[in-house]
Chains A and B, each alone.
Chain A
Amino acid sequence: MTDDNQLTGKIDALIRDEAFEDGAMLLGDAGTPEVTTAMLESIDMTMLPRDMVFSVGASFVTLAVSGKRVRHVTAASDDLEAQELIGQPVNVDDADTLQKLASVLLALAAMNGKMTMARQPVSAALDVGNVGVGLRGLSKALGPKPAKVTSSVSTLMGDLNDVLGGYAQINDGSITPVKGEAALAEAFAALEPKWSELSRSHDRLRGWADKDRLLTLDGVLPDDALAHFVSLKGSQVVMATAKGSLADVATAWARATE
């Protein structure tokens, strides 16, 4: 890949300011089912090892997450009664610990105020052997709400599976190839010289207040592929699709943002 940091900065520019508060992403109003879904989605979008800090006012819980799985609780405010969980491995076979974790998350999600999420480098190396619980296990432990736990990015990628040449998620300054690493390396090399000026110009021209955004370009990738820059529900993705896929991408985008 070419200069990952430079490209990441440019993609980050696609994020609208109002999605963030003091560097943390705004997930929504605590006390609503949607905010619990947003917590699960943000965990499901975290591949690299990160301490994820979920906060409502002064209350917070910090989860050690990698590979889309919660590995353990790193820290929590006293009001959440999570002290006995800190440092304890979490996995689906340990129903008691998992249920306590779910209780902590639900308690935080039920508070009054805005919930924010910040990702930070992990404070300690994670033990990932047989440890961790993912979207399915967490959703089950949290109860019937929220019913929908498929992230918008997952929906978009799933809908485009047949035409997708490759894509990468961009989180916290890191590019994580998810599919088609070779195609993406080629894409980044081709796009790098052209992206900077174009993205700045489009920002000045259009300046949509909406935080969800898709830009599709033709003629910048080899093999007549289309290049797409996506900012969706706080997640950023770069992807390449087959030339004739514009209608598919537009349809999938509408579904992912409905």
Chain B
Amino acid sequence: MVQDALNAVCDDIEGCESLAFVDLSTRMVLVSNASTRESQDTLNTLCAEAALLLETGQIAMAASSDHVHLFMRSPTEPSDALCCICAPGTNFSALVPAAQACLSTISGDGS
């Protein structure tokens, strides 16, 4: 069910290459979208990056000219977070609310 929600966001929004649901307290990647091409090591690094950048708030971003990494923490379950690897040309106006809705659904605070 969780992977279905992650897959749906990646399928709907071009450029959203990888989406992972992580536990910030244990720094573990719990589930990622089925079509991700990232290795487990890369996802683990992404999770560590999320834990670092989300220490202060609910949302963070780290971008180079090649990729944009988005991080979102659940407002109701502080250990739950989404990590996203996007291409630069991604429709971020669509992705940000879609990812937030996805996280709300997964964390059970969406209804």
Contacts and interface: CB of A to CB of B under 8 A. Distances in A.
Tell whether A and B belong to one assembly: yes
Contact of A254 (B45, B58, B68): B68
A205 B48 contact: yes
B39 interface: no
Interface in B29-44: none
A215 B61 contact: yes
A217 to B, nearest CB: 6
A257 B56 contact: no
Contacts of A210: 64-66
B55 A198 contact: yes
Interface residues of B, number: 28
Contacts of A258: 65, 88-89
Which of A202, A214, A216: most chain B CB closer than 10 A? A216
Interface residues of A, number: 28
B101 interface: no
A46 B110 CA distance: 49
Interface stretch (A72-80, A116-124, A244-252): A244-252
A146 B53 CA distance: 39
Contacts of A202: 49, 52-53, 62
A246 B66 contact: no
A212 B65 contact: yes
A250 B92 contact: yes
B56 A246 contact: no
A114 interface: no
A92 to B, nearest CB: 35
A220 interface: yes
A218 B95 contact: no
A219 interface: yes
Interface string B81-108: 0000010111011011000000000000
Contacts of B62: 202, 206, 213-216
Which of A194, A215, A217, A226: most chain B CB closer than 10 A? A217
Interface string A216-258: 1111100000100000000000000000001111110110011
7 contacts: A214-B64, A217-B60, A219-B56, A219-B57, A246-B92, A253-B68, A254-B90
Interface of B: 45, 48-49, 52-66, 68, 70, 86, 88-90, 92-93, 95-96
